[in-house]
Structure 1
């Protein structure tokens, strides 16, 4: 039963990562999520998930 107290925070972290909350933060910054790297006229401004980067145009 003591292990449940250790697994519960891990479960919460997994659920939070799956919720996509960082995508909303990226859109609020005026960016978009893309897999891998940002293309030339954009620059990374954050992370949407483990493999997705938040990119924003350098011109506005």
Structure 2
């Protein structure tokens, strides 16, 4: 039972560090830098959503 008290902080530390390690673009500058464009709510045919530019705009890339 004591081992759970020792493991809990390590598990929380791993989860916390993994939460911020996303490679998807998070804003318009990152999207354009990664050769994408910001589309309103959807992307045109050859492109797929790869991240978010803002609340209603998604980063579209091939």
Instruction: Give the TM-score normalised by structure 2.
Output: 0.55
Aligned residues: 37
- For structure 1, list consecutive stretches of 5 or more residues without a partner in the other structure: 1-20
- For structure 2, list consecutive stretches of 5 or more residues without a partner in the other structure: 1-25
2:58 to 42, 50, 53: 53
2:45 maps to 1:43: no
SS of alignment partner, residue 55 of structure 1: strand
Instruction: Give the TM-score normalised by structure 1.
Output: 0.56
The Cα RMSD (Å) is 1.4
Task: Name segments (4+ residues, structure 1) moved above 4 Å.
Answer: none
